[in-house]
Amino acid sequence: MSDPNSQLDAQGKLKHFLTIEGLNRGLLTEILDYAEGFLGVARQAVKKVPLCRGRVVANLFFENSTRTRTTFELAAKRLSADVLNLNISTSATAKGETLLDTLRNLEAMQVDMFVVRHAQSGAAHFIAAHAAPHVSVINAGDGRHAHPTQAMLDMFTIRRHKGDFSRLRVAIVGDILHSRVARSQMLALKALGVPDVRVIAPRTLMPAQVEEAFGVSAYHDLREGVRDADVVIMLRIQHERMNSALLPSEHEYFQLFGLTEKRLATARPDAIVMHPGPINRGVEMDSQVADGPRSVILEQVSNGIAVRMAVMSMCLGAQNLHTQGQGEFNG
């Protein structure tokens, strides 16, 4: 499953959503356009559309993430799908049953989609490679590798505020080395035509050859990195990094790389501030920025449901139904 194009079916439509890598601008734009039609569902009296009625979606979260799991669950339910949430820590896999045994049992229950989050890079690809032909797989985050729906909800939020990607300067700040979110964001931004993508991090958290690998510019000074930026994306710093040799204390990190109003002043006056959440206040940014007028962090959460609805319905082949009933769903 190493070939990114194996995410597509024979007609070039999305079958799985495992990584941004290998997907072209047209397909990414199609996801964004399609998600627009789902924004209105949250404002309806009955927050549901019948696109995936009768389909079964299983959330396989081997790694904790309340926010991501909840938004996937809401997205599936708003599409009228039935949802299974598996507590992996108490499931049969903890009793010695293999992952493939678990998959086969779920497939025997006529599950149509697996949403997978796993600490090991490549786990979602492995599951997609071994799943039954009728099953679609969405990667909800795997190791340091990818978090494609997070990247797409970020792209969706950026486009709603800034419109044309081809004129933007976007700065990504934090643990670039270990972040699957950053990797997916860099791939998506470049695929969508952003000319100036900057990554800002301490030297210990910056990947080697990141500029050559992703076509971005690397900075080790926050103010210089966000200068004239249209979008500033802050990454979550894992607490375990603070207990290693990679970073000094949280206080020292904030003094150098924490986003404050003063440091944000070098960005464009209409710059927006983003964060995949949850925020470590006083580490990645102060509350004045997180709750300030330029923050779109809560919008990202709302937009995430629409984007995940789009991806899930596209993978399940329900896109044509939505296009036919677009006016009804925009209610």
Could you read off the pLDDT of 35-51 as tens digits, one per residue?
999 999 988 989 999 99
Residues 82 and 165 in one domain: no
pLDDT confidence of residue 15? 96
117 is catalytic: yes
Residues 287 and 314 in one domain: no
Residues 286 and 309 in one domain: no
Residues 108 and 213 in one domain: no
Residues 155 and 290 in one domain: yes
Give the CATH number for residue 261.
3.40.50.1370
Residues 162 and 28 in one domain: no
Residues 154 and 141 in one domain: no
Residues 10 and 115 in one domain: yes
95 is catalytic: yes
Residues 109 and 142 in one domain: yes
Q: For residue 211, what are the β-bridge partners? A: none
Residues 141 and 222 in one domain: no
- 50, burial (CB in 10 Å: exposed 0-12, middle 13-18, buried 19+): middle
144 is catalytic: no
Could you read off the pLDDT of 263-316 as tens digits, one per residue?
999 999 999 999 998 999 999 999 999 999 999 999 999 999 999 999 999 999
Query: Domain count of the chain?
Result: 2
Residues 94 and 162 in one domain: no
Chain mean position to CA 216: 19
Q: Is 236 marked as binding a ligand?
A: yes
15 is catalytic: no
Question: Which one from 25, 53, 67, 167 is the annotated catalytic residue?
Answer: 67
> Alpha-carbon distance 319 to 322, whole Å?
5
Could you read off the pLDDT of 154-193 as tens digits, one per residue?
999 999 999 999 999 999 999 999 999 999 999 999 999 9
pLDDT confidence of residue 323? 45
Is residue 325 scored above 80 in pLDDT?
Answer: no
Structural domain range at position 275: 148-296
pLDDT confidence of residue 97? 66
- Is-contact 211 274, C-beta < 8 A? no
Residues 139 and 243 in one domain: no
Torsion angle, CA of 85/90/93/97, rounded to 10 degrees? -120
> Alpha-carbon distance 135 to 168, whole Å?
37
